[in-house]
Structure 1
Amino acid sequence: MIDASFTVQMARYNAWQNRQLKSIFKERGEAWLRETGQGFFGSIFATANHLLWADTIWMARFTQSPAPKGGIAESIAFTDTLPDWDIARFRMDARILDWAENLRSTELFGDLTWYSGAQGREVSRPRALCVAHMFNHQTHHRGQIHAMLTAAGATAPVSDLAFMPEDGPVL
């Protein structure tokens, strides 16, 4: 299905995408981000918070580290302010990239078992599928943010994986 090199490429893509969003978010300001958007989670800021929360919970599952408190409903308030989100997003992107760079393809075999609050039960799925899902989930919600930015008249970031810079900083 996937291998360790895929995770590195997708971790780089994730960081590149979030770096572009951070620039737009700073330019527009927190009040605008909280007021703008009509996506599933409401505002752009709420969607960005949900995405950060989800990355945090998936990384907790992959690395057996503490999971964030609260569930999906609380995820939209994962950080209180744009500066808090910015710092947490930077740290999470660095954590994902570090994890991916140190992952061995053999670690993608087998099942991952966790308690799913969304399902209300323990779930087991192939580990590689869960990793692919995390990256797909990121792209899905950044797509929602992209649509909300565009609808609000803002210039959305370049999101084509094929146009990600091959060298240079992604964080």
Structure 2
Amino acid sequence: MSLKNHFELLAAYNQWMNSKVYETASHLTAADLAKDRGAFFGSILGTLNHILVADTIWLQRFASHPPCRNSLVEVADLPTPTSLNQLVFDDFDGLAEHRTWLDRKIINWVAELSDNDLDSVLSYKNSKGISSSKRYSNLILHFFNHQTHHRGQVSTLLSQAGEDIGVTDLLAQIPQETP
């Protein structure tokens, strides 16, 4: 399996898990979603916004890579978040709608990546203005790992609120193979 195929699997997993998380979270009231539960970003709503903020920041960086401009042009045109704890959406429905849109953009972007893209180096500045140059494929891996990390926190917060999202393992998305 190629590196690109792995990223396509992770993009599909991201979309699948976000769909499950948002469907489960939709069972809660606005007050329950906004309740500070002591997580890194306070509430379920705060943590879901953080994932969206980080995804937007990274996708805007990825869009600076010339071969990816077309697939990420709409994301590049979004306002750049101003902080990692910014509430881009304080209403759940707006957040969920934007998440669905962004996940489609991620699927399309990954589908258009080439081996040359993955092997290139991306230069960018982090949120504190510090310059970095790192292999594009490693940054994409970080991008997907970051989502999974914080969705795990949301899964715990939903469980504490009495909601179960069910199976969360990547294994559920890995297709069966003939030996």
| Superposition TM-score tier, normalisation by shorter sequence | 0.7 to 0.9
Q: Which amino acid aligns with 1:97?
A: I
Report if aligned partners of 1:4, 1:105 keep a CA contact under 8 Å in 2.
yes
* Structure 1 residue 105: Cα displacement: 1.9
- Structure 2: give runs of 5+ residues left out of the alignment: 65-75
Provide the rounded CA distance (Å) in 2 between the counterparts of 1:121 and 1:115: 5
The one of 129, 133, 150 equivalent to 2:159 is 150
* Structure 1 residue 127: Cα displacement: 1.0
Tell me which residue corresponds to 2:105. Answer: 95
Report if aligned partners of 2:125, 2:132 keep a CA contact under 8 Å in 1.
yes
Tell me which residue corresponds to 1:58. Answer: 58
Deviation string for 1:63-107 (max 9, x for gaps)? 222462302142xx0112111101110010000001111111221
Report if aligned partners of 1:17, 1:159 keep a CA contact under 8 Å in 2.
yes
Report if aligned partners of 2:9, 2:173 keep a CA contact under 8 Å in 1.
no
- Percent identical among aligned pairs is 31
* Structure 1 residue 36: Cα displacement: 5.3
Provide the rounded CA distance (Å) in 1 between the counterparts of 2:26 and 2:3: 35
Tell me which residue corresponds to 1:169. Answer: none
Q: Which amino acid aligns with 2:156?
A: A
Tell me which residue corresponds to 2:82. Answer: 70
TM-score, normalization: structure 2?
A: 0.84
Larger radius of gyration: 2
Deviation string for 1:112-137 (max 9, x for gaps)? 111111x4311111111100000000
More displaced, 88-97 or 108-117?
Answer: 108-117
- What RMSD, in angstroms, separates the aligned Cα atoms of the two structures? 1.7
- Structure 1: give runs of 5+ residues left out of the alignment: 167-171
Number of paired residues? 162
Tell me which residue corresponds to 1:19. Answer: 19
Alignment of 1:115-130 (within 5 A): 115-117=125-127, 119-130=128-139
Give the 3 Å change call, closer, same or farther, for CA 100–112 of structure 1 in structure 2.
same
Question: SS in structure 1 opposite 2:17?
Answer: helix
TM-score, normalization: structure 1?
A: 0.87
Report if aligned partners of 1:146, 1:157 keep a CA contact under 8 Å in 2.
no
* Structure 1 residue 7: Cα displacement: 1.2
Deviation >3 Å, runs of 4+: none
Question: SS in structure 2 opposite 1:80?
Answer: coil
The one of 115, 126, 150 equivalent to 1:105 is 115
Provide the rounded CA distance (Å) in 1 between the counterparts of 2:17 and 2:29: 18
Give the 3 Å change call, closer, same or farther, for CA 63–120 of structure 1 in structure 2.
closer
